[in-house]
Amino acid sequence: MAETLLSVEHLSTVFSLRGRSLFAPNVELKAVSDVSFSLEKGETLGIVGESGCGKSTLGRSILRLIEPTEGRVVWQGKSLTDLSAGEMRKARRDLSIIFQDPVASLDPRMNVGQIIAEPLKVAEPSLSRKERRERVEKVMEEVGLAPEMINRYPHEFSGGQAQRIGIARAIVTEPKLIVCDEPVSALDVSIQAQIVNLLKALKQRMGLTLIFISHDLSVVRLVSDRILVLYLGRVVEIGPRRDVFANPGHPYTKALLAAAPIPDPKIARQREKTPLRGDPPSPIDPPSGCAFRTRCPIARDVCAEERPPLAEVGAGHHAACLFWEEVRADPAIAG
């Protein structure tokens, strides 16, 4: 039986924002709302959705880089949300993150060796300077960087090389879980493939468990075992990759799949393109009932009154739609 490393239980993250005028009350922005899922050892969970749907906030809330408002994050049986600051620092050895912007995430005042070695100073303070350097050179080779580059600075590297530095920094403490926060979205397509292949190789070699956040379904499909679809901070679908792609149970998932680019020009020309209509509603004032109803092609009166639960639509596959059977049966429904 597979080991469950991570359990996210009813996690919510709410930001308090100032009102529009001096005397207006503060308003709440619900970035993540009642999210639950579990992650097994060695698994990759892809989290997808449009920009602003709460993907990055969810990833950072899990690591407590942003403090969640409600819910729990249980890591190997221990609640991260209940740990003190000192206890959390110790736990971070097993938890890491790769950021979206490879250049902005690196301190321009530090050279490559210093950037990669920084987590080691916290996680393993007993290491000597020589031992830290040896560890840094080893991970540099693992991510495809020559050890001779150790004294260079971030501005001397391309975007792809800078992301390799970020990956080296993320794996130098030999973590068990890495949150990949849109790690290839800022890179050229050819470089994206290299970084994705590198992450897959590192996962295999190091036995990593990954949360891979992206708005690009083609990339998520390459790396993920399961897919979690997020809309306005809520989970609208979660299930095995093959099932979610082949037989989605939510109209939002269908719309995302319909909008995803297809590399074969012939197939792309033949496919009916039904764009996702409208803009996402504001998370400050979300719609009642089903949050997707304002853009949904099959929304009915009941959708405004009732928030659909995650219903089981297959083995390990759940979708939050009252009419999921209709979504599956009608190929014309694409958002």
In a domain, 305, yes or no: yes
Cβ 11 vs Cβ 36: under 8 Å: yes
Gap between the terminal Cα atoms of the chain: 38
> Where do the H-state alpha helices sit in the chain?
55-62, 85-91, 112-123, 129-142, 159-171, 189-206, 217-223, 241-246, 251-259, 265-270, 301-305, 324-329
Q: Which of 307, 306, 314 is nearest to 249 (CA)?
A: 314
In a domain, 302, yes or no: yes
For the full predicted model, state whether its pTM sits above 0.75: yes
| Residue appearing with tokens 């540099």 | 140
Cβ 303 vs Cβ 295: under 8 Å: no
| Residue appearing with tokens 């619900």 | 30
In a domain, 1, yes or no: no
Strand order of the β-sheet with 4-17 is 27-40, 4-17, 70-75, 78-79
Strand pairing report for 44-48 and 226-231? parallel
Check pLDDT > 70 for residue 221.
Answer: yes
Task: Report how far apart, in Å, the C-alpha atoms of 285 and of each of 12, 20, 30, 57, 232 are.
Answer: 16, 14, 9, 18, 11
Ranges of beta strands (E only) in 66-202 are: 70-75, 78-79, 95-98, 177-181
In a domain, 287, yes or no: yes
Whole-number pLDDT of residue 264: 46
- For the segment 222-243, the average pLDDT, to the nearest whole number, is 96
**Angular region, 83: left φ>0, alpha ψ -120 to 50, beta rest:** beta
For 100, other C-beta atoms within 10 Å of its C-beta total: 19
Question: Mind listing the pLDDT tens digit for each residue in 136-155?
Answer: 999 999 999 999 999 999 99
In a domain, 77, yes or no: no
Angstrom distance (rounded) from CA 161 to CA 212: 20
**Amino acid sitting at position 62:** I
**Amino acid sitting at position 35:** V
User: Beta partners for 28?
Assistant: 16
Whole-number pLDDT of residue 2: 73
- For the segment 223-232, the average pLDDT, to the nearest whole number, is 96
| Rounded percentage of the chain residues whose pLDDT exceeds 90 | 75
pLDDT tier, 310 (very low <50, low <70, confident <90, very high otherwise):
very high
> Where do the H-state alpha helices sit in 207-320?
217-223, 241-246, 251-259, 265-270, 301-305
Tell me, what DSSP letter sits at residue 96?
E
**Residue with the larger pLDDT of the pair 26 and 159:** 159
Range of the structural domain that residue 301 is part of? 248-335
Whole-number pLDDT of residue 261: 63
- For the segment 181-209, the average pLDDT, to the nearest whole number, is 93
In a domain, 72, yes or no: no
Q: Which of 188, 247, 257 is nearest to 218 (CA)?
A: 257
In a domain, 102, yes or no: no
Whole-number pLDDT of residue 1: 61
Cβ 321 vs Cβ 302: under 8 Å: no
Overall number of domains in the chain: 1
Q: Which of 97, 86, 112, 103 is nearest to 167 (CA)?
A: 97
Tokens of 293: 């109803």
Lowest mean pLDDT among 178-187, 241-250, 260-269: 260-269
For 216, other C-beta atoms within 10 Å of its C-beta total: 16
Whole-number pLDDT of residue 276: 74
Q: At what angle do helices 112-123 and 129-142 cross, to 10 degrees?
A: 120
Give the three-class secondary structure for 261.
Answer: coil
Angstrom distance (rounded) from CA 334 to CA 259: 9
In a domain, 182, yes or no: no
Check pLDDT > 90 for residue 102.
Answer: no
Tell me, what DSSP letter sits at residue 247?
S
Strand order of the β-sheet with 44-48 is 95-98, 177-181, 209-214, 44-48, 226-231, 234-240, 317-319, 311-314
Residues contacting 121, CB < 8 A, separation 6+: 132
